[in-house]
Amino acid sequence: MWGDWGHVLRPALLALFAAAVAIRLLVRVRRLRGVPHARAWRHSVAEVGMVVGTLPWIWMILTPVPGDGGLSLVPFRDLAAQLSGPVPAAVVQVGGNLLVLAALGFFLPVRFRLVPGSDGRAVPGPRTGAVLARVAVVLLGVAVTVEVLQYVLGLGRVASVDDVLVNVVGGLLAALCSRRWWADRVPTGRR
């Protein structure tokens, strides 16, 4: 794995240090602008987390590979083929696709209030389905864009509807994992 993806993993690991610095600087700027402490940290961590947790995956899947590539528009065909193949390959392929948009899915509802109350204040407990629907729209847009780029740029990869589906499912599962910290759950006076 290091041999295949070291050119992505090394900068991604270095980016963690840069991410910590970026978070601290964003918090400082927000605090100087009068943003409450908790909201300054919440927004800064979520924004940097979305970027640092998603870009290395996008970089990997937009890296050219040898081969002709192709287009697969039949749902579940590629997924069935992967799952019927060798277990290690299926774990890497399906597991990797679940992780591609996980950071985006995790941090999106943490950063943005996706279901405001009628008076503009935070609702005490956002409806999970409504938040997940909005997160799914964003994830779907990103996943489709990446697959279209793979096809249009001729990267030797197969642009697959199954990749879109698994990317979105991974992001939604991650969003559910972050439910405790969703922006809607924090009263507006403490954000």
Residue 161: the pLDDT is: 97
Residue 126's pLDDT band (boundaries 50, 70, 90)? low
- DSSP per residue, the chain: -HHHHHHHHHHHHHHHHHHHHHHHHHHHHHHHTT--HHHHHHHHHHHHHHHHHHHHHHHHHTS--SS--EEE-STTHHHHHHHHS-HHHHHHHHHHHHHTTHHHHHHHHHHS-SS--TTSSPPSS--HHHHHHHHHHHHHHHHHHHHHHHHHTT-S-EEEHHHHHHHHHHHHHHHHHTGGG-GGGS-GGG-
> Which tens digit of pLDDT belongs to each residue from 67-115?
999 999 999 999 999 999 999 999 989 999 999 999 999 999 999 987 6
Whole-model pTM: value is 0.85
> Which tens digit of pLDDT belongs to each residue from 140-172?
999 999 999 999 999 999 999 999 999 999 999
